[in-house]
Structure formats: C-alpha cells, structure tokens
Structure 1
Amino acid sequence: MKTKTPAALLKRWAPPVVLLILFTLFVIAINDVDKAQLVVREGQTFEKGVVTAIIQDNLQPNGTRVGEQVVEVQMLTGVRKGQTLETTSSSGYLFGAGCTVGMHVVVLQSVAGDSTITSVYSQDRGWVIYLFAGLYLLALCLVGGKQGVKGALGLVFTFACIILVYLPLVYQGCSPFWVSVFVCIITTVVTLWLIGGPTRKTVVATGGTVAGVIISGLAATLFSMASGISGYNVSDIESLLTLWNVSGIQVGGLLFSGLLISSLGAVMDVAMSIASSIAEVRTQNPSLTRKELFWAGMHIGRDMMGTDSNTLILAFAGGSVSMLLLDYAYDLPYLQIINSNNIGIAIMQGISGSFGIVLSVPVTVALAVLLYMTPGALREEKAKAALREKDQEIA
C-alpha cells in the first residue's frame, strides 16, 4: 500500500481538525447558560447507598407490595457517606423500589443541620445502562471492524450534539425546528464523513439525507396546518408552558423538531445505501448513460424505501402501544380514537417521516447521477476499486 506523504495527510486532516476545534469552541460558548431555577433543591441531593437490612416489609401474601418498606441504607456518597440511615421505600411503579438486602439504591436526601430526611428514589441502575451501552459499542466495533469503530464514533457524536447543542440552543429561545435541522446537518456530515471519507459518495449521501429530513419537516408542517394538530397538543404541555413562561422556549416547535431527529437515522440509511450502490454500479459498468444510471438507482431505492418506511412507522406505532391498548380496552368509538390528539400525533410522525424516506430516494439518485457521471469521478472509483483488490490480495 502506498504511504501517504505528510503534505497529503495535512491536506486531508487539517480541515476537519480545524472545524472540530471551531465546533468545540462553539459548543463551549452556547453551554454557558444560567438556568432559571424551577424547583428549589437547596439541601436536597440524590446519593448512592446499599440496603443493609429490611426493618419492615410491605410484601403481601399474593406477591404484591402495598404501602412502604422501612429499610436501613448504608450511604456510599454525600455528606452522610459511611453512615447507616433508616429510610422508607414506596411501592410505586414510578418511584421507590422493592428493596432487598444488598440492593444498590439511589436515595433522595435532604439535609438541614443535623436533621436528615431520606427516601429511596429508585434502584441504582446506572451501571446497567453504562454496561449495556459499552457492550453495544464493543459489539459494533468487533463485528464492524474499522467501519464499526467509525460508526461508534458517529453515534457518540450524534448523542453529544443532542445534549450539548440542541438542548442549550432550544433552551435559549432558538427555533426548535431550525436547531434540529442544524443538528441533523452536522451529525450527518460527521457520521457519513467518518464512514465514507471525503468522497463524492459522502456528498451524495449527505445531500440526500438533509433533503429527506427537511421534507419530513415540511410534510409534518402541512399535516399540522390541515389537521389542527400542533406542538401544543402534546400530553406534557403544562410543564412545557412553564418553561415558556420562565425562559421563552418555543414549545410549539418541539414536536416537529423531535420528528426530524427521529427520522434522521432511517433517512441516512437509505441515502448512504443508495449512494454506495450507485457508485458500485457506475464503477462496474462505466458505459451506462445518465438515464440508465438514474433508473438503476431508482430500482435500488424502491427496494429500500418499502422496508425503511415500514421500520419508521412501526417505531412510532411501538411507542404508542400502551395508549392503543387502553383505547382498545375501554372500547372507545372509532371517531373518538381517530380524532384524538395522541393518535393524530403518532400518525403524523409516522407518515411525515416516511415521506422523507420516500422522497429522499429520487433526490439522492439525482445527486449521484450528477456527481458520478463526471470523468474524474469514474477515475477515482476505479483507482479505489483497484486499491481495495490489492489490499485483499495482500491480506
């Protein structure tokens, strides 16, 4: 394999490194936020502990729990670290835990002088989350090899953008819709660049992904205008309006921005698959005309759009299973169900996201034909194919 010169390495890596530095400075700047205090938490903390004894249990003969447990917890963190405190654990499904000796729990602790009031908030499951996330990334790297490592880096970057870019900008009053568009563009460029490198294929996939995501947002906007469903029809609107009163967050756009982020993965998958497939078709058969290459790409995209649209609709439907089961159990009239806000929102999300997937296909194919049909593009693809064959022979 030919060794790249320092000048070639500098040419390839200098621009992304400079952009990464500028992006890091941007992230640091937008995260310098003074949050308005919505809840007074002075003296109140969440600490880790381990249950050492069950003083009074609430387990019933039929296996259910009623009321509260009284337990002893040895504190592992906080100002009471090392001390054993007597506390309570409720039997609720949202808060509390069915404590057993040796269980690690999170304790809600309020300290005022020598007085301490505590209750078990939940089982400590943080290590489980970190373990499974680490195992997934490890499996991705082991199975995917070099591409798996790149995919893992892209996934981590995407998650970081949502936490460190989307949330601070929306909190500061920026439009959730356009912030989500910005985040989708940034994460798409970085993820696809990591996977495909600085190539025409990456440009094609990026263009198709961004187009598909924006089409999803436009479809959702039209659906909203026609149906009367807006971001103010969500179930937690009361809490969101509190944020609007305090910090000016544009809560009406959160529903549509969430739709863009939700559809990003499926649209990116379609766009990258089409871009790669058309590049291979062009390399293997350079005699194809623009029209022939376009229809070859459309045939490839048609096979993909059906399964990916199904995946996206099922994902949104899966998130509404509990609501659908309640509607079924109460035997609600059809007109009530189909016109409820929750059902309308779920339908809007599934259909609008699928619009983005379907219409991203011709956009991606058209971009591929435009960029792949140049003489320089064909020479580049042939050189890369020859290099891959040579690497395989050496291996």
Structure 2
Amino acid sequence: MKIEICKKNFIRNGCLAVAGILFLLFLYNLNQIEKESFYDTEGRNFVKAKVVEIIEDNETEGGNYIGSQTVMISILSGEFKGELLEANSSSSFLYGTHCEVGKKVIAIVSESNGTFVASIYSVDRAAMIYLIIGIFMLTIILIGGKKGLASVVGLGFTIICILFLFLPLIYRGVSPILAAVVVTLITTCVTMYLIGGWSVKTFASTTGTVIGVIIAGVCAILFSKMTQITGYNVSDIEDLIYVGEKTSIQIGQLMFAGILIAALGAVMDVAMSIASTILEINEKNQTLTRKELFRSGMNVGKDMMGTMSNTLILAFTGGSINTLVFIYAYNYQYNQVMNLHSIGIEIIQGIASSMGVILTVPCVSLITCMLVKRKEMHREVQK
C-alpha cells in the first residue's frame, strides 16, 4: 500500500515538475516582445548615485525650499559608474529631493555627443522597499509555518503571472477580460494546491473561487451597461487611448479585467475558509448530513459576507480618497456627485466584487458538502 502511495506521489510530483518547466518556457517565449517606443530614451539612463557635495543650496532663512539645488554626485551604477557629475535637484513633491552630503539618490543621466546632463529623480528607496517586503514575508512564515511558506510562494507566483503572463498577453492583443480569467484560473489552482495539497478542500475552494470571480466580472459588465459607464470613462483615458493606438491593447476592457483581478484575493479567502470549515466540522462529526453541513457553511459564510464586502468597499474607497476629498472640500452638489464617472466606477467595482464574494459562499458550501459525502460513500463501498 505504501509503495503504491509513494509511486502515485512520485508520478504526481513528476507531472507537476514537467508542467512547471513547460510553463516557465511558455512565459519566456511570451515575453519576447519588441515594445513600441513612445518617446526617445536613447542616451537617457536612471542610475544610482551618491551626493558628495552641495554646490548651491535652495534653503531660505525661513527653512523653506525654493527652486532647485545644484549638487555634485558620484555615479554608483551603470556605464557611467565612478563618474562625478553636476546635477540639479528640484524640491517638488513628485520629483527630485532635498539633497544632503552622503544621501543616496536615483539620477537621470543623459549623454549627447560626449556631453552629460544629470538631474535627481528621487531618493534611492529600493533597499527599504525590499526590507519591508522581507519583513512581511518573514512574518507570514513565522506565524504560518509551512502554510505561511506556501502562502508566500503562492503570492510570488501570482505576482509572476500578473507581470509575465497577464501584461504580455494583453500587450499582444488578447482580450484583457480573457487574460484576467486565465490568470485567475492558473493562480487559484496553484495557490490552493500549495495551501491545501491534493484534496477535496483544494478542488472545492478552487472551483468556488473561479465561479465567484466570474460572477464578479459578469456583474461588473451588467452594471456598466445599466449605468452607461464603459472602460473609456476612466481618469487616464487620454493616455490609454494613445497607448491603444500604438499597440494592440484593448483599452475598453481594462477596467473589467481589473475588477476580476481585484476580486480574486477576497473570493479566494472566502472560498478556502468555507471549505476548510466544512471539512473540519465533518471530521469532528461525520454523522452530519449534507444539508446540515451546508447550513454550517452558510452560517460561517454569512459572518464573512459582511466583513469581506466591507473590506472590498473600503479598499476601493481608499483608492479614490483624493476624489472624495475634492468632492467634500469643493462642496459638490448631489446630482453632480452621483453622476461623476469616477464615483460610478468605484461603486461598480466595489459592488461587483462584493457580489462575487457573497455568491461564492453558497457555491463553495454546496460543492464541498457534495464532495465530502461522496468521498465517504466511496470509502464505505470499498469496505
């Protein structure tokens, strides 16, 4: 018996390894793209640098910063590494920084006919960002153990799929909605398998997640038709249209693809929680019927509906906080507020995602109950 189990595990792991290698090869070929050039960047480089001297400061007697600084920087990376260059640093909120001797920055260095022009782009904050990510991952692993490690791997895989699968697909002209569905399916299967292994819980939660995300997408499309809001009503549409004209990206579908991806995390969380709860209850008391297990799953799901829906609404609200501040400060009228494209889009995104979460609960509860009891009946027949 043990030999057969080991043999099955070996075959399964071998198939997964082959599938993983094929997937990586597919991603490599997919990302062999010659991107369209939107502006001339020849001779322009973003490099790491260190401020070695303040040539001309812009601090006033009152402690304010006006205009820009002139500083001397030492290039720390790129083809100009080791060079000393004079650079300007603006004190604006978006670009530049107030330089001090020894401060590490990112500089823009341009070369033309042997002449160098440098300016400070921002503080070099990459190391701190990596540190924050490292603290986050370490916390998950320390608290979650093996499950935490699996979660970190699953998160990394999701990021890879978004950067190296979703974006190249839509750049090549694939429908963003279809690409989002593909990414949702792949990331859900991999993440659920890493967390739950090859089990009823994994299958039920994966199926429920895919159903929930599709429901969210359908609701988003339906709501957009009802409100006559399209993917062309987003705030950056002028820039996006220009990108769409130069590439094969289907701009009008990006909003709906974003809703699918945004809903994935919350739906996945609910699906796994419901499936795990039902399986745990059944393990403690196997005399419960399918109907009783379904009710237990629904009871747990009802508590999660409110919190997860609230989480999604707050997440989308947080993303549009600047708009809300403008509305409040400028005292917009009711009819003006309710018919702003940005407000309508946020409402559609929040409610569509919440609908996916809510309807995932009965779907996962039903699927899990059916699979659990079918497995028990199969075992009894074998005995």
The TM-score normalised by the length of structure 2 is 0.95
Partner of 1:164: 164
CA distance in 2, matches of 1:191, 1:62: 55
Pairwise CA distance, 1:60: 3.1
SS across alignment from 2:60: coil
Closer, same or farther in 2 for the Cα pair 1:56/1:133, shift >3 Å? same
Cα deviations across residues 302-356 of structure 1 (Å, max 9, x unaligned)? Answer: 1111111111110111111111011111111111111101111111111111000
Closer, same or farther in 2 for the Cα pair 1:374/1:5, shift >3 Å? closer
Partner of 1:148: 148
Pairwise CA distance, 1:3: 9.3
Closer, same or farther in 2 for the Cα pair 1:60/1:351, shift >3 Å? farther
Contact 1:47 1:75 in 2 (8 A): yes
Partner of 2:340: 340
Partner of 1:32: 32
Tell me which amino acid in the other structure corresponds to 2:264.
L
**Is 2:96 the partner of 1:91?**
no
CA distance in 1, matches of 2:61, 2:185: 57
Pairwise CA distance, 1:289: 1.7
Partner of 2:45: 45
CA distance in 1, matches of 2:43, 2:128: 28
Tell me which amino acid in the other structure corresponds to 1:119.
S
Q: Which moved more, 1:71-80 or 1:162-171?
A: 71-80
Tell me which amino acid in the other structure corresponds to 2:348.
M
Q: Which moved more, 1:265-274 or 1:236-245?
A: 236-245
CA distance in 2, matches of 1:127, 1:378: 55
SS across alignment from 1:248: coil
After TM superposition, list the pairs within 5 Å mapping 1:332-371 onto structure 2: 332-371=332-371
CA distance in 2, matches of 1:39, 1:92: 24
SS across alignment from 1:313: helix
Partner of 1:194: 194
Pairwise CA distance, 1:6: 4.6
Q: Which moved more, 1:133-142 or 1:187-196?
A: 133-142
Q: State the identity as a percent.
A: 46
After TM superposition, list the pairs within 5 Å mapping 1:10-29 onto structure 2: 10-29=10-29
Pairwise CA distance, 1:243: 1.5
Pairwise CA distance, 1:36: 1.1
Closer, same or farther in 2 for the Cα pair 1:375/1:262, shift >3 Å? closer
Partner of 1:185: 185
Partner of 2:247: 247
Please list every run of 5 or more consecutive structure 1 residues that lacks an aligned counterpart in the other structure.
Answer: 381-395
Partner of 1:234: 234
Partner of 2:130: 130
CA distance in 2, matches of 1:234, 1:363: 32
Pairwise CA distance, 1:61: 3.8
SS across alignment from 1:49: strand
CA distance in 2, matches of 1:28, 1:377: 45
Partner of 1:389: none
SS across alignment from 2:209: helix
Contact 2:170 2:248 in 1 (8 A): no
Partner of 1:314: 314
Closer, same or farther in 2 for the Cα pair 1:379/1:56, shift >3 Å? farther
Contact 1:50 1:73 in 2 (8 A): yes
Tell me which amino acid in the other structure corresponds to 2:162.
I
Please list every run of 5 or more consecutive structure 2 residues that lacks an aligned counterpart in the other structure.
Answer: none
Partner of 1:215: 215
Contact 1:88 1:118 in 2 (8 A): yes
The TM-score normalised by the length of structure 1 is 0.93
Closer, same or farther in 2 for the Cα pair 1:67/1:361, shift >3 Å? same
Tell me which amino acid in the other structure corresponds to 2:48.
K
Closer, same or farther in 2 for the Cα pair 1:374/1:48, shift >3 Å? same
Cα deviations across residues 29-63 of structure 1 (Å, max 9, x unaligned)? Answer: 21111111111111111111001111112223444
CA distance in 2, matches of 1:223, 1:63: 52
Pairwise CA distance, 1:64: 3.1
After TM superposition, list the pairs within 5 Å mapping 1:59-74 onto structure 2: 59-74=59-74
Q: How many residues align?
A: 379
- Name the Cα RMSD after superposition: 1.7
Contact 1:209 1:268 in 2 (8 A): yes
Tell me which amino acid in the other structure corresponds to 1:51.
V
Partner of 2:104: 104
Cα deviations across residues 169-207 of structure 1 (Å, max 9, x unaligned)? Answer: 000111101100110111111011000001010000001
Tell me which amino acid in the other structure corresponds to 1:352.
A
Closer, same or farther in 2 for the Cα pair 1:375/1:249, shift >3 Å? closer
